[in-house]
Amino acid sequence: MAELSTAEPDTGPATGPEAGPDTVIATRALTKRFRGGQLAVDGLDLAVPAGSVFGFLGPNGSGKTTTIRMLMGLIEPTSGTARVLGQAMPRATRTVLPQVGALIEGPALYGFLSGRDNLLRYDSADPTADPRTRRARVAAALDRVGLTAAASKKAKAYSLGMKQRLGLAAALLQPRRLLVLDEPTNGLDPQGMREIRSLVRELASDGTTVFLSSHLLDEIEQVCSHAAVMARGRLIIQGPVAELAAGARGLLVVTTPDPGDAARVLKEQGMADVVVEEDRVTGEPPDRDLAEVNAALVSAGVRVRGFGLERASLEDAFVALTGEGFDVAG
């Protein structure tokens, strides 16, 4: 590939316009084609701001785990670049990974060891971990994920949810700048999901950037400040969650006993996709001051009982952008 600029010979390839010192994960045209020819990730440009809880959302098979494995240096991209904490992966894997807590698709556990012994073993594999404080570190991590009572049980007797939490505990042994969690609530019951969400919020409030993947839309909406939506290996959209949903398809909703007149006036005011359902008229908000739109209704004699914007959900955004329903069940 022809490179005109040689401005950054030491820092590796540039990472796109949004990448800066406050970007903890930045990819550019990141692509993975598996040997069988499967294009799992296709030209991905991702920018994860420091301090965000970043939801990496997409149906099963959309390329989330493959992306995460490239970010963590576990597999090589076919093309494109990935930077994590400012360093190029997989080249800087050795320096970057100690600063990242990761839970990737079914943590590798020793079934014949207890939960606690799994963590002790995991901790001792970390050359930066002080052996004198190992037991305390492990106890704190077990406590944080609610596994203290089950710590002496063999991991093979754990439920899927408990295994998931044990994997999370392993990621929490050390304070990290970045946590990468691949479907952390997979296999958890609603109570377990709530616990993980509050844990994620807690970690984020300590300043840790959390990058988590999920195929569950509402989960992302509940916990994430930012999100990227994937479909078939491609990035559909990314940004602050509030903007993604609102920008996608906010609806202007007018409630009135005069829906016919209201629809006419609203069309004159520039509202698109006007739909009348009994006493409700909805449509895409016109690109003008909504106070004027409301005034126009009133001066045309329309009796306005309700007038407001209904926030679109991320699901609306996904459907609008892909023309497909989001497969909630995965």
Q: How far apart are CA 212 and CA 210, in angstroms?
A: 6
Q: Which does 36 bind (CB under 5 to 8 A by kind): Mg ion, ligand ADP, none?
A: ligand ADP
11, 38, 198, 205: which one binds ligand ADP (CB under 6 A): 38
Give yes or no for residue 11 binding ligand ADP (CB under 6 A). no
Element (H, E) at 29: strand 23-33
Rounded least distance, CB 40 to ligand ADP, Å: 3
Rounded least distance, CB 233 to ligand ADP, Å: 7
Rounded least distance, CB 139 to Mg ion, Å: 31
Element (H, E) at 295: helix 290-299
Could you tell me what percentage of the chain is helix, strand and coil, using 3-state DSSP and rounding each to the nearest 5? 35, 25, 40
Q: Which does 152 bind (CB under 5 to 8 A by kind): Mg ion, ligand ADP, none?
A: none
Which positions touch Mg ion (CB under 5 A)?
A: 64-65
Q: Which residues between 61 and 120 bind ligand ADP (CB under 6 A)? A: 61-66
Rounded least distance, CB 313 to ligand ADP, Å: 20
The tokens of 55 are what? 């939801």
The tokens of 11 are what? 């820092």
Site track 122-141 with ligand ADP (rule: CB under 6 A), x = hit: --------------------
Buried b (16+ CB within 10 A) or exposed e, 132-152: eebeebbeebbebbbbeebbe
Q: Assess contact for 147 and 29: CB atoms under 8 A.
A: no
Rounded least distance, CB 23 to ligand ADP, Å: 22
Rounded to the nearest 10 degrees, the angle between the axes of helix 290-299 and helix 259-268 is: 130
- Point out which residues bind ligand ADP (CB under 6 A): 34, 36, 38, 40, 58, 60-66
